[in-house]
């Protein structure tokens, strides 16, 4: 994703201009979420930046949720900034608006339903325990490399029926589509996914199994099956989401737990259903996905003059951090009532994998604290943050 500045168009109110690169927000290296909160508190609800070819940013939690939810004013046609890259995205269902996207969402919802995820709890727990048990006697672990980059990906690889040995290649391609300045261009990484998935999807059509990719290529979509092009676009989107977001969310969560012994103690005293419920507060606090919507028509919107075709960035993390929505928002309070956030989106494009993500995080916390209740950040950790479509911490190393 390039960082190209644009001259300020005549219709932009100069008081709304904030010269900020969403992939390099000031202060984000030290604290990704504090950097966004600082920008939010110093800015109007909607601002315009000349960076990344020029676009709007929704910085108020309620305004961001409004943009996310209102597909009649804000389209999913282009969701990646800058626009020159976003035009190349075209994956489904994330770049399709209602009502056209509904059959695809119905397909994904049935493949990742709450009942199906609950049926996976024992498998998820067994995988977590298998990974955590050897750490106990070692007294330390590189949590990022040895757990976060292994656990959710191994669960997801089993869900889609792809060997874990191939996860490195998949994650490499995914990061090239979600990070600034990737080693290969966005369109090359997308084609890499298509080249990789093509033979796999052909084989699943011929001999379907119980996995999610088989479900994608054999499901009935309004009386038909997906075309080859549709199945490639949908499967690519599924793989990108499955190998990146939970990996990085676990890093933020465990870094925070390492620095907050009282929170560890509180979570350790909860039973599993309570831990599962508590993940809502964690997802509120550590939202990390920054995407966009396309303005459908000229409008006045919370003091800004938007033009048809403009992009408006929706950094989902700012909703949960908005003090007008969640008081004392940097504090993780598992007893918080009515916490609101957009970590999984809102409206018609709510993330279909949210139940799997919640289960993976809750099971990790429960099984880790059962075996390693006290731990701290090691000196050789690298808690600096970097950004892209998905924020991340470089390297979480824990010791006890």
Of 150-164, 229-243, 316-330, where does the model show the most confidence?
A: 316-330
For residue 24, the model assigns a pLDDT of: 95
Question: What tokens does 389 get?
Answer: 């479509």
pLDDT band at 146 (very low <50, low <70, confident <90, very high): very high
Does residue 4 carry a pLDDT above 90? no
Quote the DSSP letter at residue 389: S
Dist. CA 339–CA 373, nearest whole Å = 26
Distances (CA, A) of 156 to 91, 118, 166, 188, 322: 19, 14, 12, 24, 32
pLDDT tens track for 309-342: 999 999 999 999 999 999 999 999 999 998 999 9
Does residue 2 carry a pLDDT above 80? no
Nearest to 90 by CA among 220, 187, 188: 187
Does residue 221 carry a pLDDT above 90? no
Dist. CA 354–CA 357, nearest whole Å = 5
Dist. CA 152–CA 272, nearest whole Å = 18
pLDDT tens track for 35-52: 999 999 999 999 999 999
């Amino acid at each position: 994703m390039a960082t190209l500045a644009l001259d300020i168009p005549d219709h932009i109110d100069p008081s709304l201009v904030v010269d900020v690169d969403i992939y390099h927000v000031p202060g984000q290296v030290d604290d990704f979420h504090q950097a966004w909160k600082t920008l939010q508190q110093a800015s109007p609800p909607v601002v315009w930046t000349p960076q990344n070819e020029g676009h709007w940013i929704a910085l108020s939690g309620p305004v961001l949720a409004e943009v996310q939810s209102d597909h009649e004013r804000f389209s999913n046609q282009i969701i990646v900034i800058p626009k020159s890259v976003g035009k190349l995205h075209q994956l489904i269902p994330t770049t399709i608006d209602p009502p056209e996207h509904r059959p695809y969402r119905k397909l994904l919802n049935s493949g990742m339903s709450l009942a199906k995820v609950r049926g996976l709890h024992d498998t998820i727990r067994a995988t977590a325990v298998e990974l955590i048990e050897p750490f106990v006697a070692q007294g330390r672990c590189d949590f990022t490399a040895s757990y976060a980059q292994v656990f959710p990906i191994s669960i997801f690889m089993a869900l889609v029926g792809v060997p874990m040995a191939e996860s490195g290649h998949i994650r490499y391609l995914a990061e090239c589509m979600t990070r600034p300045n990737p080693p290969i261009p966005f369109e090359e990484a997308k084609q890499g996914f298509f080249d990789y998935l093509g033979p796999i999807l052909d084989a699943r059509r011929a001999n379907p199994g119980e996995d999610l990719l088989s479900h994608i290529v054999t499901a009935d979509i309004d009386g038909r099956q997906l075309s080859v092009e549709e199945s490639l676009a949908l499967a690519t989107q599924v793989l990108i989401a499955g190998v990146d977001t939970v990996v990085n969310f676990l890093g933020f969560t465990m870094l925070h737990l390492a620095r907050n012994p009282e929170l560890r103690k509180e979570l350790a005293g909860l039973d599993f259903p309570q831990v599962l419920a508590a993940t809502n507060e964690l997802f509120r606090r550590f939202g990390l996905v920054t995407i966009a919507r396309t303005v459908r028509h000229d409008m006045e919107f919370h003091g800004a003059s938007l033009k048809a075709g403009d992009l408006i960035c929706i950094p989902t993390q700012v909703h949960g951090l908005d003090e007008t929505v969640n008081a004392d928002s940097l504090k993780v309070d598992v007893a918080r009532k009515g916490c609101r956030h957009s970590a999984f989106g809102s409206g018609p494009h709510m993330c279909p994998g949210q139940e799997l993500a919640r289960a993976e995080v809750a099971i990790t916390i429960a099984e880790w604290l059962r075996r390693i209740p006290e731990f701290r950040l090691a000196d050789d950790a690298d808690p600096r943050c970097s950004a892209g479509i998905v924020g991340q911490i470089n390297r979480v190393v824990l010791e006890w």
